[in-house]
Amino acid sequence: MPYKTVKDLPLKENFGPGHRLCQGCGAGIIARLVTKVAGDNTIITNATGCLEVSSTFYPDTAWGIPWIHIAFENAAAAASGIRAAYNAMIRKGLKDSSPNVIALGGDGGTADIGLQALSGALERGDHFTYICYDNEAYMNTGIQRSSATPYGAWTTTSPPGKLSPGQKTEKKNLVAIAVAHGIKYAATANVAYIVDAANKIEKALNTSGASFIHFLSPCTPGWRIDTASSVKVSRLAVQTALWPLYEVVNGEYITTVKVAKRLPVTEYLKVQGRFRHIVNKPEEVAKIQAIADSNAAKFGYGPLSQ
């Protein structure tokens, strides 16, 4: 049964308290929501990254369900192995059911280092859900660019200058990559739209074979935003069409949150320190607006408000 409001979410907490993520970190919101929807009968593999190092300070853990720390490159491979083990135990009569299996990874562990293992798992159709919490850089190790860093953003390895706008390439389209493997379900999600995200997690877990969810995960130090504004900034990403919310069911793209009048991208850019070097450069802003306009046309957004 679909969630209609946040009051429909389970009350039980299987993530936190006790993690040491930054105030306003999107990864904590995502982990809390994922574990609420998935429930007790769940096993999680977690690639190295912010979420891993901040939730398991020895001898403590913020996880209330089975959780495994996996290296950057093999969260998907470990999830495949867990699923294969349960399939074998069921065939032998040792188990009569299997748990939800979820892999969690940041953009570095998904779009870059972990892409090979993820691609193999998606191609095989292994039955688990991969969730990428995308904070758009390698935040855990010092805010270095990844292939998911958006055009124009400042990072320590894509610094702006006279000959550089900052990040020179556009974001890698992870959902399109996942869909190209022929999986039955993929989606984007956003921490400012909790009910939409919860329903997508539920659908992904109940989809046979592999499924994929791409979450925008605000990072307060990396994006240079106030700790209280992470949800507001995340909402602006949707309202400007820079992060459209949609799902792909058996290859069909479906917009799940429609925006009647979208905001110009400057509303999103000007509240983040990582973009402050281009906000007053019309030619660079125009390039980012063109990305949003393309998304808006594809996902049925309304006209740009002036």
User: For residue range 18-34, what is the model confidence (pLDDT) as tens digits?
Assistant: 899 999 999 999 999 99
Q: Which domain holds residue 239?
A: 6-299
Whether residue 173 is contained in a domain is answered as yes
Whether residue 235 is contained in a domain is answered as yes
Beta strands across the sheet bearing 129-134 = 67-70, 42-47, 100-106, 129-134, 211-216, 185-190, 246-249, 252-255
Q: CATH number, domain at 98?
A: 3.40.50.970
Longest Cα separation, the chain: 66
**Which stretches of the chain score pLDDT less than 70?**
1
* Domains identified in the chain, total number: 1
Whether residue 214 is contained in a domain is answered as yes
Whether residue 305 is contained in a domain is answered as no
Q: What is the pLDDT of residue 1?
A: 64
Whether residue 304 is contained in a domain is answered as no
Q: What is the pLDDT of residue 142?
A: 96
